[in-house]
Structure formats: C-alpha cells, structure tokens
Amino acid sequence: MKKEPLPDMYGKIQDESSILGDLAGKIPGFSGYIERSRRREADQILRETIASRLEASRLTLSNVHQELSRDIVKAMDHAEPLGRADTRLVGLIGKVRDAPQGYAGFFDAVKIKEDDLAGIYAFDESMLAYCDQISADVDLAEKATLDDGDIDNAIRTLDSTLREANATFDSRQEILSGVS
C-alpha cells in the first residue's frame, strides 16, 4: 500500500485567510502570535499523522504475533524479540503523541530559535520516512511469517529501525528542551 505524501500542514494552515488574519495586520505583535499558533497547529497535525501511521504498523505487527502463535515452536522462538520490537513501537507512538509542541510560545521557559525550528521540521520529516520504513519492515516480518522465511532477520531489522527512530525523536526533544 503506497502512502500518500503528507501535505505541507504549516503552509496549508498559513494559507487560510480569516477575519483574524486581517486583524493581525492592525495590532502590533498580534501577527507573531498568530504565526506561533499556526506553527503549533501544524506541528500537532503532523505528530498525529505520524502516530496514526505508526499505529497502523502496530496493528500489522499484532497480526504477525497472532500468526506466530499458531505454531508453538515459532511462538516460543520469536516471542521475546517480537515483544521487544512491539514495546519499542508502543514507546515511539507514545513519545510522538505526548511530545511538547514544536514551537515555544511567548511565555514558555525555553524559546525555540528559528534555526532550531527548521531542525525540528527536518526531524519531523525524517520521522515520516521512519514511518514508511517501519511499515515496510513490519510487512517484511509478516511475509516472512506467512512464507516460513527468515523471521529472525525480519524482526532484527524492524527492531533496528525502531531503535533509530526512537533516537531520532529523542534528538528532537533535546532541541525543544534547550539541550542542543
């Protein structure tokens, strides 16, 4: 199943005109407030999209687990590494959903600089690429399970991708917390 490219959420939100937008030009400082609000909204939409794609992969991964459980030997051989991969996937979904928004407001303790914001958007773009890779890795594990293929290698590959994706997302959090 081919994934549709994610539209430019920030651009789409920014392009919407409203009475509020007209008001922004007349009140000093108000346009900056609107800009931050739009960035927050785009960030929220993007993170929900990423989390939803990861949830779809998790659903397929649960099918792999069910298929393996039909054979007690396979279930015993692969339960631990498959469980580890599932735990990493659940953790990543939680991090994405619960992450602070990608743009600091006026009163936030940590201010996000424009350069850092560009870096955050690059992280988010890489997370979309990880979503696609995780989906492909889960599909490979499912195929290996159904075709008596190399299940060990498929699960190892998935687990490796999940470790990388988690590390990438953690780097995003470092920028948001001012650690970078």
DSSP 113: P
Among the listed residues 97, 4, 80, the one whose alpha carbon sits nearest the alpha carbon of residue 45: 97
pLDDT of residue 103: 47
Distance in angstroms (rounded) separating the CA atoms of residues 8 and 1:
21
What is the value of pTM for the model shown?
A: 0.73
Where the chain has pLDDT below 50, the residues are: 16-17, 19, 30, 103-110
pLDDT of residue 98: 85
Structure tokens at 118: 């560009």
pLDDT digits (tens, 9 = 90+) for 28-41: 554 555 566 676 77
pLDDT of residue 92: 96
Among the listed residues 126, 124, 135, 119, the one whose alpha carbon sits nearest the alpha carbon of residue 58: 135
pLDDT of residue 167: 93
pLDDT of residue 25: 57
pLDDT of residue 101: 62
In this structure, are residues 138 and 64 in contact, taking their beta carbons and an 8 Å threshold? yes
Cβ contacts of residue 99 below 8 Å, gap of 6+? 47, 169, 172, 173, 176
